[in-house]
Structure 1
Amino acid sequence: MSAQQAGPSSYFVPGPSQWPVLAGVALLVTMLGASGWVNGQSWGPYVNAAGLLAVLLVLYRWFGDAIAESEGGKYSARIDISYRWSMAWFIFSEVMFFAGFFGALFYARSITMPWLADLDHKLLWPDFAGQWGSVGPAGTVESFATMGPFPIPTINTALLLTSGVTLTISHHALRAGHRMQTAFWLFATIMLGAVFMGFQAYEYSHAYSELNLKLTSGIYGSTFFMLTGFHGFHVTLGAIMLSVMLYRVLKGHFTPEQHFGFEGAAWYWHFVDVVWLGLYVVVYWL
């Protein structure tokens, strides 16, 4: 945020806006298109694409208004606190989101698998060993190979850890007033995230073509792709957020004292890094 012109105790209240209504309509069109698409309607993909385009346009204009308000000096210290709490609660909701998937993995691996392999079930499934990555007690899932930590997951771990370092350097440069250093290290962070996604795309291709590991490969396949896939989506979203921050840095929007837009995106990126460390240990090593 730019230097504030509003008083420290003031609280800016925006005027009536059309963006919430338009966002609701765009989301409705998006979901109508998606429902038609999954039900085999020829118009479904086109309506879904139109709805997504409308959502992106509304978000672009809506966030543009918020940026203009910030750069116009309308945000006080109380607004800054509101944004910080909002971002903190948003990240907490994301923590709970991933906690649900980690919980499903723990339940399937540590509770369900031993339970299906105990003596009470030997008569039903005598050949079932209850080892993680099995094809199920009835053998209805095609054989597949599990995913190990080498080499791509380990490389991706190094990439994300390095991106956390480059982002921290960029933040310190911004606080010191070194705008070009801020932009350089922020760009490096975005590139590391892009390389991460490239490696994950290759990993998925390898899993499908060589390991026969798919989303339909029992509980192992579903938990693997849900956890890593949603994390990849969050990396993509975080890279988009950082790209917007890079654009704003180059436009001269932030000051060493007021730059919560940058900080909020950085919080999100560090959260994504921490989630990956959990994934790397639980999904690939254990």
Structure 2
Amino acid sequence: MMMSNHFFHLVNVSPWPILTSLSLLNLASSVIEWTLTGGYQFLFMFIAQVSLVSYQWWRDVVREAFYEGWRSAKTNTMISAGVMLFILSEVCFFSSFFWAYFYYSLSPDHSIGLCWPPAGIMSIDFMGIPFLNTLILLGSGFFITWCHYSIMINSYSIAKQTLIICCLLGVYFISIQMYEYMNLEFSFSDSVYGSSFYILTGFHGLHVLVGLLFIYINLVRLTIVSFSSLMMMGLEYSIWYWHFVDLVWLFLYCFVYWWGS
């Protein structure tokens, strides 16, 4: 019999870590195939596979934490520290791309016309779609914070409504971003400006999609009352992540759209 004279939760044997790894490997291979050959049949199949395995893994984690009560205060503190370190790694990830952007924009060389934006590239009006997207993301951050406050005072109906509005604003942001991409006059291969712009905004859009998935899962849990004001760490982590996404967008708007124009 396993002794429990410690503050840590030793999880049961689970097939989900290895299955998740294999599913992600298959997904990466299908993305490469889609890029090289244009075939996307396996892509959708492996997206469904990753989603199914992730759902079952998250189900087990929720059951252990909320229904079985295996999480001690020390375990929760360490999980929170891990999420903070993950967000810190994301800060380093975006910092590397911002570093490259500032390197080329602050000292443009002859190959791009000694100017920024490079010669022949029409910059984006920062008071147009980018400003609208800024308002949308800031509004979503406001509503998800309102949701958190509503749960703390046990007002679950308002919490559900505000979280739904946050999800809708996130979807609206992605839709506007796609519309902007389809109407831009430069592409990824148009000098270092195009590559920097699409890498920064594209990876931010990917993080918005991940954040939306995170928030949607918490919306489902909120609908079925799967957490309380005393045990809502998953929602709190999604709020941390969403505010990080908001902060990255503010940097993008100020330096790529506004200052870069």
| TM superposition score normalised by structure 2 | 0.91
| 1:186 CA drift (Å) | 0.9
Instruction: Spell out the pairing of 1:205-224 with structure 2 (5 A cutoff).
Output: 205-207=182-184, 212-224=185-197
| 1:61 CA drift (Å) | 0.8
1:133 is aligned, of 117, 120, 145, to 117
Distance in 2 of aligned mates of 1:239 and 1:74: 28
| 1:52 CA drift (Å) | 2.5
| 1:269 CA drift (Å) | 0.3
Distance in 2 of aligned mates of 1:32 and 1:196: 29
| CA deviations over 1:52-89 (Å, ceiling 9, x no partner) | 32222111111111011112212111221122011101
| 1:267 CA drift (Å) | 0.2
State which structure, 1 or 2, has the greater radius of gyration over its C-alpha atoms. Answer: 1
Distance in 2 of aligned mates of 1:51 and 1:168: 34
| 1:99 CA drift (Å) | 0.5
| 1:47 CA drift (Å) | 3.1
Distance in 1 of aligned mates of 2:191 and 2:181: 16
Q: How many residues align?
A: 255
2:244 is aligned, of 271, 276, 286, to 271
Distance in 2 of aligned mates of 1:131 and 1:77: 55
Distance in 2 of aligned mates of 1:258 and 1:36: 42
Distance in 2 of aligned mates of 1:206 and 1:223: 18
| TM-align CA RMSD | 2.0
> What's 1:83 paired with?
79
AA matched with 2:222: V
| CA deviations over 1:85-135 (Å, ceiling 9, x no partner) | 111011111111110110110111113x1xx24xxxxxxx7xx74111224
| CA deviations over 1:27-48 (Å, ceiling 9, x no partner) | 22223333344443x7x53333
Contact 1:231 1:272 in 2 (8 A): yes
Contact 1:146 1:213 in 2 (8 A): no
> What's 1:196 paired with?
173
| CA deviations over 1:125-174 (Å, ceiling 9, x no partner) | 7xx74111224xxxxxxx43211202111111111111111111111111
Instruction: Spell out the pairing of 1:1-286 with structure 2 (5 A cutoff).
Output: 10-40=7-37, 45-72=40-67, 73-111=69-107, 113=108, 116-117=109-110, 129-135=113-119, 143-207=120-184, 212-286=185-259
Distance in 2 of aligned mates of 1:216 and 1:154: 25
Q: Which runs of 5+ in 2 are unaligned?
A: none
Distance in 2 of aligned mates of 1:34 and 1:242: 25
Q: Flag the 1:32–1:203 CA change in 2: closer, same or farther, 3 A.
A: closer
Distance in 2 of aligned mates of 1:31 and 1:10: 37
Q: Flag the 1:152–1:167 CA change in 2: closer, same or farther, 3 A.
A: same
| CA deviations over 1:235-254 (Å, ceiling 9, x no partner) | 11111111111111111122
AA matched with 1:79: T
Distance in 2 of aligned mates of 1:250 and 1:32: 36
Distance in 1 of aligned mates of 2:113 and 2:32: 40
